[in-house]
A and B are shown apart, each in its own frame.
Chain A
Amino acid sequence: MYFNEEHHALRDMVKKFVDKEINPNVDEWEEKTVPLHELFKKMGNLGLLGITYDQKYGGQGLDYWFDLVFLEELGHINAGGVPMAIAVHTHMATPAIHEYGSEYLKETYLKPAIAGDMVSAIGVTEPAAGSDVAGLKTKAIRDGNSYVINGSKLFITNGCQADFVTLLARTDDRPGFHSFGLFIVPTDLPGFVVSRKLDKLGMRCSDTAELFFDDLRVPAENLIGEAGEGFIIQMKQFQYERFCTLPGTYISARDTINMTINYISQRMAFGKPLIKNQVLRHRLVDWITEIECLKHLTYHIVRMKMEGFDATREISMGKLLAGELSFKVANGCLQMFGGMGYMNESLISRNFRDSRLLSIGGGADEVMKEVIARLEGF
């Protein structure tokens, strides 16, 4: 009903890629971190890193349904850290370059990012400011033809391996939203320091860094869009970031449920398979119903994006629902696995760890609720 022959062909291709190039490696990557340059090059060669981007820069110039199919299939990856690393590159660190970047920035950074020759990261969160983005302290002060950046960023996905960071920094001290710049910061510049690789509860295969900038001098031409407008541009970029979390969430939650149904159909307790217990069956059905709702809210958002409507309200609702649902399903399914679910050797324990992040990252649930309340007019 929603997809044509080419969408199906893309789905088959990404499925095959995930089955052959990603899933056989995720256990190792959980231990050692996903090698992004190697993975992104393969994906770039298949045209997967710029599905909606302009063909002039190596993108495919395709519509949001193709993007959705791609994101859905990434949901079948058996470790949340891999799709997160990919989505940071395709939906969090590059949309602003595509939409607001100069020709120079598109040629120098977007093109190699789409080809898979460069790895990107998004640098917004700081030790003292996360979802409260306006409280950012990292400074970028204009000096001749460059900006001098000082400060630090925390919880930066892909931060250890990135070739450039799309970085939000304060360009002056005036209060309000027009005192920021969004910069492309190449990581090989003097003054760029990866201070720590962080150890996390979940998403263990993804590399997460603390970054430090010590008089880092970046050319003024690396500013995306107008001076002072970085915050506004990043708020728009957040819409891509929040949207891209939705398809993978309902797909992986459904995979988790399927895996659980499979397990409790075989697991005998008190003389019958666990799945014969009405309380468990009904719990599963409640989740499946909510998953279906999230999927169709997502499809509605795709239709809105296709028609050019602002979907901030719906995307915020989707992100809120996705964060709550993914953890609820993983937690509830782990319960059905019992002691086996508590063992690190079961995939469900990884799903449980990985699913905790979505209510925090990319705008916490509480922030989503505030955004929705504001848009509702109260």
Chain B
Amino acid sequence: MNIIVCLKQVPDTETQIKIGSDRQSIVTDDIKWVMNPYDEYGVEEALRLKEKHGGEVTVVGLGPKRVTESIRTALAMGADKGILISDGALDGSDSLAHAKAIAAAIKDLQYDLIFTGQRGVDDDLGIVGATLAEALNIPQLSLIVKVEVAEDGKSVKVQRPIEGETLVITSTLPALITAQKGLNEPRYASLPGIMKAKKKPLAEKSLADLGLNSADFGAGARKMKILELTPPPAREAGKIVPGETPQEKAAQLAKLLHDEAKVL
């Protein structure tokens, strides 16, 4: 079975994010870029399915040249080939445009399953998976924590957690799955894997290569507009509840919760 995994490169979750002077973007100078953690679950699941059912795993990334590093990481984990959609005209595009470009890169490939992360941890929008499934006219199974492909490779049974219950869904293939935390524990790229990755094929495609019109992309074509980015409010210092004994402290805490926090 052939599987496509879409991946996004995002700032490392340990990065201190600074808002730029335009108030609409972040300062990218000192950022360490990593594969979106939800996409990593997708890569891992694709590799496990490949190990069980055979076939090929293709990784598709979109963005500037540096995205190559994240694609190589997926190749080092065991994916077979990569595609990077890179074009200056993509700068400033919104998620809808990204999904459109990815769909164009995928539509002529042979695939049974597509994985995306359930969202990128940078913008937290969660739009690409759904838009991509719509553009390719295939079912979308979102926020999935368990995937079982039928022996005949024609259908898939998945689990999605909902409010303490589990929804079990079956679907025909091809289908698109958005990966949620809990799906698996992604493997590390081994050192032999890292050394093999540089010999694996990685194609770079421009919008023209994909038969797309540059005018439909970029900041001017955005349907979603960012008005302003603001930092979260600074956290206030905590309060230590005084008291000699646990009983005294508990009584004092209850009083504060009632009088000050007004939650009791």
A54 contacts chain B at the CB level, 8 A cutoff: no
**In the assembled complex, which residues on chain B have CB atoms less than 8 Å from the CB atom of A5?**
69, 72, 198
A288→B193 CA distance, assembly (Å): 36
Give A50's nearest chain B residue, CB to CB: B191
A232→B61 CA distance, assembly (Å): 54
B140 contacts chain A at the CB level, 8 A cutoff: no
B192 contacts chain A at the CB level, 8 A cutoff: yes
| 7 extra A-B contacts, CB within 8 A, seeds A5-B198, A10-B194 | A10-B191, A16-B188, A47-B190, A47-B193, A51-B191, A60-B192, A60-B195
Tell which of B73, B76, B188 has the most Cβ of chain A within 10 Å.
B188
Of the residues A9, A48, A62, A66, contact of B76 by C-beta under 8 Å: A9
Are A9 and B194 interface neighbours, CB within 8 A?
yes
Are A13 and B191 interface neighbours, CB within 8 A?
yes
Are B190 and A9 interface neighbours, CB within 8 A?
no
CB distance from A168 to the nearest CB of B (A): 31
A17 contacts chain B at the CB level, 8 A cutoff: yes
Of the residues A6, A16, A45, contact of B194 by C-beta under 8 Å: A6
Are A60 and B191 interface neighbours, CB within 8 A?
yes
Give A66's nearest chain B residue, CB to CB: B191
A319→B24 CA distance, assembly (Å): 51
Give A8's nearest chain B residue, CB to CB: B69
A46 contacts chain B at the CB level, 8 A cutoff: yes
A16→B198 CA distance, assembly (Å): 20
A48→B193 CA distance, assembly (Å): 12
**In the assembled complex, which residues on chain B have CB atoms less than 8 Å from the CB atom of A8?**
69
A12→B34 CA distance, assembly (Å): 10
B145 contacts chain A at the CB level, 8 A cutoff: no
**In the assembled complex, which residues on chain A have CB atoms less than 8 Å from the CB atom of B192?**
47, 60
B7 contacts chain A at the CB level, 8 A cutoff: no
Subset of 7 A-B contacts with CB under 8 Å = A8-B69, A10-B194, A13-B76, A13-B189, A13-B191, A45-B190, A62-B195
Q: Which of B56-101 contact A (CB under 8 A)?
A: 69, 72-73, 76
CB distance from A24 to the nearest CB of B (A): 14
Are B195 and A6 interface neighbours, CB within 8 A?
yes
B133 contacts chain A at the CB level, 8 A cutoff: no
Are A47 and B191 interface neighbours, CB within 8 A?
yes
A305→B190 CA distance, assembly (Å): 25
Q: Which of A9-45 contact B (CB under 8 A)?
A: 9-10, 12-13, 16-17, 45
A62→B196 CA distance, assembly (Å): 13
Are B195 and A46 interface neighbours, CB within 8 A?
no
Known: A5-B69, A5-B72. A17 touches B198 (CB 8 A): no
A66→B192 CA distance, assembly (Å): 12
In the complex, how many residue pairs between chain A and chain B have their CB atoms under 8 Å apart? Answer: 42
A66→B197 CA distance, assembly (Å): 16
**In the assembled complex, which residues on chain B have CB atoms less than 8 Å from the CB atom of A45?**
190
Are B198 and A46 interface neighbours, CB within 8 A?
no
Give A4's nearest chain B residue, CB to CB: B198
Are B188 and A6 interface neighbours, CB within 8 A?
no
Are A48 and B191 interface neighbours, CB within 8 A?
yes
CB distance from A43 to the nearest CB of B (A): 10
A8→B73 CA distance, assembly (Å): 11
Give B76's nearest chain A residue, CB to CB: A9
CB distance from A4 to the nearest CB of B (A): 9
A10→B72 CA distance, assembly (Å): 12
**In the assembled complex, which residues on chain B have CB atoms less than 8 Å from the CB atom of A60?**
191-192, 195
Known: A46-B190, A47-B190. A12 touches B195 (CB 8 A): no
A9→B200 CA distance, assembly (Å): 15
**In the assembled complex, which residues on chain A have CB atoms less than 8 Å from the CB atom of B188?**
13, 16-17, 46
- Interface residues as binary, B120-162 with A (CB distance below 8 Å gives 1, 0 otherwise): 0000000000000000000000000000000000000000000
Known: A5-B198, A6-B198, A60-B195. A12 touches B190 (CB 8 A): no
Give A49's nearest chain B residue, CB to CB: B191
A8→B69 CA distance, assembly (Å): 9
CB distance from A90 to the nearest CB of B (A): 13
Q: Which of B99-121 contact A (CB under 8 A)?
A: none
**In the assembled complex, which residues on chain B have CB atoms less than 8 Å from the CB atom of A66?**
191
Tell which of A10, A13, A16 has the most Cβ of chain B within 10 Å.
A13
**In the assembled complex, which residues on chain A have CB atoms less than 8 Å from the CB atom of B190?**
13, 45-47
A51→B195 CA distance, assembly (Å): 12
Which 4 A/B pairs are nearest by Cβ-Cβ distance?
A: A47-B191, A9-B194, A46-B190, A47-B192
**In the assembled complex, which residues on chain B have CB atoms less than 8 Å from the CB atom of A62?**
191, 195
CB distance from A261 to the nearest CB of B (A): 15
Are B72 and A12 interface neighbours, CB within 8 A?
no
CB distance from B163 to the nearest CB of A (A): 30
Give B198's nearest chain A residue, CB to CB: A6
Q: Which of B183-210 contact A (CB under 8 A)?
A: 188-195, 197-198
A10→B191 CA distance, assembly (Å): 6
CB distance from A69 to the nearest CB of B (A): 10
Give B14's nearest chain A residue, CB to CB: A19
A10→B73 CA distance, assembly (Å): 10
- Interface residues as binary, B200-230 with A (CB distance below 8 Å gives 1, 0 otherwise): 0000000000000000000000000000000
A328→B112 CA distance, assembly (Å): 60
A90→B128 CA distance, assembly (Å): 45
Give B75's nearest chain A residue, CB to CB: A9
**In the assembled complex, which residues on chain B have CB atoms less than 8 Å from the CB atom of A10?**
191, 194
A10→B225 CA distance, assembly (Å): 39
Known: A5-B198, A6-B198, A9-B76. A46 touches B191 (CB 8 A): yes
A125→B192 CA distance, assembly (Å): 36
**In the assembled complex, which residues on chain B have CB atoms less than 8 Å from the CB atom of A51?**
191
CB distance from A362 to the nearest CB of B (A): 26
